[in-house]
């Protein structure tokens, strides 16, 4: 990625870039662990009885309750990539707030909504 492309990234895209870069560094130090983790998560998110969209919505809700900002952004992108609507994502966040309370809701109404905006902005 050249300097101009890197500077043009919004906050959500920068977070995804940082995560991928970090995973690359991790993979050079622990390639076996990284490989097995990747294979495990690929299997978990493969189409099955639950669709990939449903799995991404579940993961978004879990990441909100877990307060994991990188996963919130990553799974917001996964939801969008698999055709989830804004309403579906907000409903998943609402369910997560039932478990995580105000802390989960604060992430949903800030970071998740910002990520949806950022990631939809560059799809057009």
CATH number (domain holding residue 21): 1.20.1290.10
Model confidence at 111: pLDDT above 70: yes
Model confidence at 3: pLDDT above 70: no
Task: Say how many domains are in the chain.
Answer: 1
Give the phi and the psi of residue 14 in degrees, each rounded to 5.
Answer: -65, -40
Average pLDDT for 81-95: 97
Q: What confidence score (pLDDT) does residue 121 get?
A: 82
CA distance linking residue 82 with residue 14, whole number of Å: 21
Segments forming the whole domain that contains residue 76: 3-121
Average pLDDT for 51-74: 97
Model confidence at 2: pLDDT above 80: no
State the pLDDT confidence band at 92, using cuts at 50, 70 and 90: very high
């Amino acid at each position: 990625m050249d300097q101009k492309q890197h500077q043009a990234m919004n906050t959500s895209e920068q977070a995804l870039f940082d995560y991928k870069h970090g995973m690359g560094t991790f993979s050079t130090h622990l390639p076996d662990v990284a490989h097995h983790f990747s294979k495990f998560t690929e299997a978990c998110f493969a189409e099955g009885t639950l669709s990939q969209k449903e799995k991404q919505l579940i993961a978004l809700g879990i990441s909100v309750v877990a307060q994991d900002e990188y996963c919130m952004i990553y799974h917001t992108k996964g939801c969008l990539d698999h055709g989830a609507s804004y309403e579906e994502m907000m409903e998943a966040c609402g369910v997560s707030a039932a478990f995580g309370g105000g802390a989960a809701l604060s992430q949903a109404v800030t970071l998740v909504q910002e990520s949806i905006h950022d990631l939809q902005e560059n799809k057009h």
